[in-house]
Structure 1
Amino acid sequence: MKLVLKWVLIVFLILIVGVGGLVWYYGRNWKPIVETKLKEAVHKSTGGLYTLRYDDLDLNIALGNATLLNAELIPDSAVYRQQVLSKEAPNNRYHISLKSLKIRRFSLMDVLSEKRLNIKTIVFEEPSIHLISEYHSYNDTIAEHSQKTLYENVKDIVRSINVKDIKIDNVKFKYSKIAEGNTSSISLEQVNINVHDVLVDETSLADTSRLYYTKMVDVQIPHFEYNLPDGFYKASFENLRINTREQNVLMTKVFYGPKMSKSAFFKNKKRNVTMAVLAFDTLRMEHLDFRRLIDNQQTIAAKVQIKNGSVDLSADKRYPKYPVVKIGHSPHQQLMKAQKLLRLDTVLVDNVTVTYYEMSAKFGREGSISFNHAKGTLTNVTNDTTVLRKDKYMRADLIAQVMGAGRLHAKFGFDMLSKTGYHTYSGTLGAMNATAFNRILHPLLNVGIASGNIKKIAFNMEGNDRKNWGSFKFDYDNLKINLPEKENGKKSKLASFLVNQILINDSNPDANEKYHVGKINYTRVPEHTFFKTLWQSLLEGIKQCAGISPEREAKLLGTAEKVKEVSTEAKGVVKKTGKFFKGLFKKKEKTEGEGN
């Protein structure tokens, strides 16, 4: 028995020595072969666009480990320009460097016997990635001859490559975009990337569950801030999470706004443009088509959610404004003019407050109007004509609290294929105290509403580039107005009395129980924006319901002239009232953010 055990141990020792010698031999003699094949594979699989360089390759065949030290993947600019001329160049190219590339648990025998490379883990240590994006229109169409796939480039060396996990932590990432000869760049620090289940074989590229041979790419980017090239605005977020398997993008604490104070913004602009500040707790995209986004910069998603935030828009009338023709600049027309395809099935708005601020040039005070806690949906948000041929309307259905009081429910319909910008809008405003509007009236016009109960407003409108038309209903009572104070501090009691008793109806139905309905047929001023035209149209309905027809205004103008003989305080009553009503709704008109 002892003799048998002795021979077993001897054979075992011989095997260990033999295997150890074989491993030592392959480790020394296969290293240059592997190095040559590795560089050849990179060069061939990329059509000569990339070159692999490194200081050393540590190869341990027994453990199935390999380490590249100070490795660098370098794009050849001369080759890239040749590919551009032959219309074969990709939109994106990369320059990657890292302290080490660690490949763990691969089997050389699988490569030798079956030409299959299986790797458990690849770890990138201290990587630096520079992504250079240069758009080429030919990549949007099907080429006459398709480029070779990655598998076609490596199949002569191996039949398949499978990597279970790739870890890339604390990446320094730089993105450079080249457009019309100009280059803009964004840099990121501490990016974490995990890639799971990479498979390169003859079937993987056609596998719809994979994105470029991968089952999942998970990216996490911590706090980011970027100063926009215009010198006025900055953008930032607290965290960005991208997951290709879930097809989701999540951004938290998103901010877009000026780098300076409001006063400094307008002082530097020297113009009365709209200053915008956007802040959202959550911005999420679901079922995003990453392949179309990466290849063609096309944004296609099933759902976008904007949650818990604010949109603040400001204007300052102490500075000049240079009006331009706004025909053809409606929201849906602007979307159709976008160069890149956008298709969002649904946009969910949840608890977003929109506020418009305006600084008065005359009184030096700032007034505001707000639409609080807005929520609702936008559907069929797209410029994709193939989709629009089936349903040509983009729709919006939104609810908000006007001045935190009255419930506004508004619906919009935009004919995306209309050459004349056809659209519809309808809505209702619930009961609220009219004095809530003093927050904007007094600072800007130095007038106010003494009392007034708005019972309900309902409108049903249509419009295009040139006109708005439809019906308007305004139910209210006990409407009383205070006109501006005189320089001596006394109120224009007589002027206020004339306005309240003669010029306007203090209720609808009026004192004669006649119910006034606004029949709107408003011709657009070409320099007015879409939303300004919308509110000017509704103003016509307000005036008609309040009994202020053009004929009555003309008649009352003569009445005011007669009253002037009795009291000089009546002078200008009609003019002041006209300004009041225009001011009441004019301040809403600029909540769209178009100030240029």
Structure 2
Amino acid sequence: MTAWVFKNRWRKISIIGLGILGVIILVVVFFLNSFLSRTLSSKFKEAVLKGTDSLYRVNFSKLDINVFNGTAVLHDITFKPDTTAYHRLQQAGKAPNRLFEIKVKRLEVSGAHPLDIWLHKKIEVALIDLKNPEIYISKNGDKQQPQKPADKRTIYQKLSASFKLIRVDDIRLGEINFTYRDKSGPKPSVHVLKEMDVHATNLLIDSATQADTSRTLYCRDIVTQLRHYTGKSANGLYTYKINSVKLSTKTSRLDIAGVDVQPLTISMYLAKSHTDRFGLHLDAITLHHFNYRSYRQGQGLDVARAVLNKGEFSIFSNPNGPLKTTDRLVTFPNWAIRQLKMGLQVDTLDIKDLDVNYSEFKKGKSRKTGTVRFSAVTGSIFNLTNKKALLQKQPLATAHLSTLFMGKGRLNLQFGFNLADDGYSYSYKGHMGAMNMADANPAVMPLGLVRITSGTVTSLDFDIHGNQRRSAGKVTFLYHNLKVDVLKTDDEKGYAKKGIISLLANTVILKSDNPDNGKTIPRVADVAFIRPKNFPFFKTIWSALLNGLKGCAGVGKADEKEKNQPLTKKEIKEKADALKKASEYKQKEDKKFKQKLSEKQKP
């Protein structure tokens, strides 16, 4: 009996003791929750203040901590500049060019160890999750800030008095609303991004990682993704869309999917603008080894390899465009690259399956639109740069491209541009295989009022070198059974044939074959062309090439000779005559330009 009573007594004592212990634990937990909330709140705010040199403050309405499962939730967070501190910096001329502001309704932290924070000054967290944060950046100016004594301490050194270590395995920011206000220019602009996600992994701030250059913002990897971005140009002529943009700081790879630049319809565009009309679609753009750090710091675009994958680029030459009075040297690619305000270094630009279309409405007798098509352009461009140190080692940018001219004839092209030469020298050579000449009619009929009724290209080869003043080279155009109709416009039929002129063109002017029937040595044209200043780049290279094509076809000078034969005295004189003729052509074009200019200036 005594043993049974003793046993029950101890059972009651144990139950009471456990109950008291449980109450004590609950009291301690609730106390810790409350105490840690207050303590960590003050430490967190103090750390932000120190880490930003008192410019920024962080506030939140409430911090809930659950010691049992290691979670914490912050409510109504704001991270914004202290206006008093900012104005003080402004008066001292030391205010930063950009200000940041962040608003978050709810931030949840899981897998945390609050006691380690309090007792050991260590923050170790499994996940930080922010939903629908609002981020604002204001750019207030581009002025160079006066140099102040540099604080060379790392973020770790600034925070080490409050925390010895900060580790976060995952940081997720979903559905970000991002607003960028640029107040530095004459007209303020606002850019808004939505549907933006950021995922950062393995953030670690400690004594070892403070000098780790493989990390970005102390993270092993930061993946940023933007979806469904749309906007309009300031003049309202273009709408641009991007399906998605994704950047990984670990791989330094930027992926852009679904790029579209859509102009207004032709009629609406011509009614509002006198500039040429452009359109662009690309399935994907990929930048490999993209130096996002130098780009973010405004130092330029530095890419090891860029890939443009499948799409279309179209140009419509505006017939109402203003007469250009400046030297059209500005259209030369090597001039444009050298004039870029930002640094450029693209080691390799790969183009895969890009369609390029050039359309022009021919004023005057035709009044019709012709289109030149280059289908499935594929190839690579090397050494695109404007950096002087790199140009001293290799000044030449080269391109190797392959395409289908008018969607039919295989055309292989090579371009070379000297990016350091004051004369803006360049070269282009190419080879085109067999093609039915009539396939070029969609371009030659409206633009030249000529219809090719028969003819087959055997091959076309050209090799031309030029600079901003003149071009010279060789063209070999082999074909057979060429016949054409010279046309005039007809309101009902579209075109009408000029019978007598067409007969003369086929029997007197044009050679139907090259080489001539029964001969084995073809006509080869030596090209000499002096560029009028109002001729842009592509008109210049086409004009030089056209001179060679016309010579091979009988409309101009071409010689029948074996390849690589030395020039005779007669041929040397003919070259001098060709150069004189090119000079006369230039003077003629300059005179025509002056006449057009005077007509434009008449009231």
- If the length of structure 2 is used for normalisation, what is the TM-score? 0.84
2:392 to 368, 389, 393: 389
Question: Judging changes above 3 Å, is the alpha-carbon distance between structure 1 residues 12 and 92 closer, same or farther for their aligned structure 2 residues?
Answer: farther
Alignment of 1:488-499 (within 5 A): 491-499=497-505
Amino acid in structure 2 at the alignment position of 1:480: K
| Structure 2 CA distance for partners of 1:224 and 1:380, relative to 1, 3 Å | same
Counterpart among 501, 524, 528 of residue 531 in structure 2: 524
CA-CA distance at 1:7 after TM superposition: 7.9
Deviations 1:383-405 (A, max 9, x none): 22222222222111110000011
Aligned partners of 2:308 and 2:87: how far apart in 1?
Answer: 42
Selected match of 1:261 from 261, 265, 270: 265
Task: Return closer, same or farther for 1:369/1:206 CA change in 2, 3 Å cut-off.
Answer: same
Any residues of structure 2 matched to 1:82-93 within 5 Å, and which?
92-93=98-99
Q: Equivalents in 1 of 2:124, 2:497: separation in Å?
A: 88
Paired residue for 1:570? none
- 1:23-38 matched pairs, under 5 angstroms: 23-38=29-44
Partner amino acid for 1:421? Y
Structure 1 residues 356, 57: closer, same or farther in 2, change over 3 A? Answer: same
Q: Give the distance between the partners of 1:185 and 1:490, measured in 2 at CA.
A: 55
Distance 1:307-1:82 versus aligned 2 partners, 3 A rule: farther
- For 1:542-561, list aligned pairs within 5 A: 542-549=549-556
Q: CA deviation at 1:103?
A: 1.9
Equivalent residue in structure 1 for 2:427, among 416, 424, 428: 424
Contact 1:278/1:310, CA 8 A, preserved across alignment: yes
Structure 1 equivalent of residue 312 of structure 2: 310
1:496 alignment partner AA: S
Deviations 1:53-96 (A, max 9, x none): 22222233443332221111112456456657878665654211
**For 2:506, what is the secondary structure of its paired residue?**
helix
Given candidates 354, 358, 368, the residue that maps to 2:371 is 368
Q: What secondary structure sits across from 2:328 in the alignment?
A: coil
Q: 1:208 aligns with which of 206, 213, 218?
A: 213
Q: What do the CA deviations read for 1:118-139 (whole angstroms, capped 9, x no partner)?
A: 1111111331111334674759
Residue in structure 1 matched with residue 596 of structure 2 by the alignment: none
Give the residue type in structure 1 aligned to 2:414: K
Structure 1 63/348 Cα, relative in aligned 2: closer, same or farther at 3 Å? Answer: same
Q: Residues 294, 359 of structure 1: CA spacing in aligned structure 2 closer, same or farther, 3 A cutoff?
A: same
Following the alignment from structure 1 to structure 2, what is the Cα–Cα distance between the partners of residues 505 and 374? 32
How do residues 281-300 of structure 1 correspond to structure 2 at under 5 angstroms? 281-296=283-298, 298-300=300-302
1:224 matched to 2:229? The reply is yes
Distance change in 2, residues 1:414/1:165 (3 Å)? same
Per-residue CA shift, 1:268-306, capped at 9, x if unaligned? Answer: 11x3x3200000111121221222222225222222111
Letter in 2 for 1:264: M
SS at the partner of 1:47? coil
Provide the residue aligned with 1:127 in structure 2.
133
Determine whether 1:515 maps to 2:519.
no
CA contact (8 A) 1:205 1:212 kept: no
Spell out the pairing of 1:68-107 with structure 2 (5 A cutoff): 68-76=74-82, 79-80=85-86, 92-107=98-113
Kindly indicate whether residue 377 of structure 2 is the aligned counterpart of residue 377 of structure 1. Answer: no
Partner residue of 2:277 out of 275, 278, 282? 275
Structure 2 CA distance for aligned equivalents of residues 143 and 383 of structure 1: 32
Contact 2:228–2:241 (8 Å) recurs in 1:
yes
What's the counterpart of residue 569 of structure 1? none
Separation in 1, partners of 2:91, 2:471: 51
Choose the corresponding residue for 1:330, options 322, 329, 332. Answer: 332
Look up the match of 1:52: 58
Determine if contact 1:335/1:382 at 8 Å carries over to the other structure: yes
For the aligned residues, what is the CA RMSD? 3.0
Q: Structure 1 residues 135 and 470 mapped into 2: Cα distance closer, same or farther (>3 Å)? A: farther
Aligned to 1:157: 162
Conservation of the 8 A alpha-carbon contact between 1:318 and 1:360: no
Letter in 2 for 1:262: I
Specify which of 454, 458, 475 is matched with residue 457 of structure 2.
454
Residues 146 and 401 (structure 1), Cα distance of their counterparts in 2 relative to 1, 3 Å cut: farther
Paired amino acid for 2:109: I
CA deviation vs aligned residue, 1:136-156 (integer Å, no higher than 9, x gap): 4759x9987355432222111
Which residue of 2 is the match for residue 40 of structure 1? 46
Q: What amino acid is the match of 1:518?
A: A
Contact 2:551 2:558 in 1 (8 A): no
Change (3 A) 1:135 1:304: farther
Structure with the larger RCO, 1 or 2 (CA within 8 Å, 6+ apart): 1
- Match of 1:230, SS state, is coil
> Cα gap change, 1:34/1:451 in structure 2, threshold over 3 Å: closer, same or farther?
same
Letter in 2 for 1:360: K
Q: Name which of structure 1's ranges 160-169 and 5-14 shifts more when overlaid on structure 2.
A: 5-14
Q: Distance in 2 between matches of 1:83 and 1:422?
A: 51
> Is this contact kept in 1: 2:277–2:318, CA < 8 A?
no
Structure 2 Cα separation of the partners of residues 76 and 318 of structure 1: 54
Q: 1:446 to 1:521 in 2, by over 3 A?
A: closer
The Cα shift of 1:422 comes to 1.5
Q: Decide whether aligned partners of structure 1 residues 215 and 91 sit closer, same or farther in structure 2, where only a CA change above 3 A counts.
A: farther
**Alignment of 1:174 onto 2:179:** yes
Query: Structure 1 unaligned runs (5+)?
Result: 553-577, 583-596
- Once residues 173 and 354 of structure 2 are traced to their aligned partners in structure 1, the CA distance between those partners, rounded to angstroms, is 37
Contact map agreement 2:525 2:557 (CA 8 A) in 1: no
CA distance in 2, matches of 1:248, 1:105: 31
Distance 1:293 1:6, change over 3 A: farther
Q: Return the offset for 1:350.
A: 0.7
Q: How many Å separate the matches in 2 of 1:446 and 1:346?
A: 41
Q: Name the amino acid aligned to 1:542.
A: L
Superposed displacement of residue 427, structure 1: 1.0
Q: Is the alpha carbon distance of 1:205 and 1:531 closer, same or farther for their aligned partners in structure 2, counting shifts above 3 Å?
A: farther
Contact preservation (8 Å) 1:318, 1:359 = no
Deviation at 1:18, TM superposition (A): 3.8
Distance 2:469 2:384 in 1: 24
| CA distance, structure 2, for counterparts of residue 83 and residue 426 of structure 1 | 60
Gap runs ≥5 in structure 2: 560-584, 590-603
Name the structure 1 match of 2:357: 355
| Aligned-pair identity (%) | 25
Q: TM-score, normalised by structure 1?
A: 0.85
Alignment-derived partner of residue 410 in structure 1: 413
Residue of structure 2 equivalent to 1:476: 479
CA distance in 1, matches of 2:439, 2:211: 61
Is contact 2:40–2:118 with CA below 8 Å preserved after alignment?
no
In structure 2, do the counterparts of structure 1 residues 195 and 11 end up closer, same or farther at CA, with 3 Å as the change threshold?
Answer: farther
Q: What amino acid is the match of 1:340? A: M
Given the alignment of the two structures, is residue 443 of structure 1 paired with residue 443 of structure 2, yes or no?
A: no
> Mean alpha-carbon deviation: is it higher for 411-420 or for 314-323?
314-323
For 1:486 and 1:116, how far apart are their aligned partners in 2?
84
Equivalenced residue count is 550
Question: Is the contact made by 1:237 and 1:251 (CA closer than 8 Å) also made in structure 2?
Answer: yes
Shift of 1:319: 5.8
Structure 1 pair 448–144 and aligned structure 2 pair: CA distance change class (3 A): farther
8 Å Cα contact 2:324-2:534 kept in structure 1: no
- Asked if the contact 1:88/1:147 (under 8 Å) is kept, the reply is no
Change (3 A) 1:142 1:525: farther
- C-alpha distance in 2 between matches for 1:381 and 1:85: 44
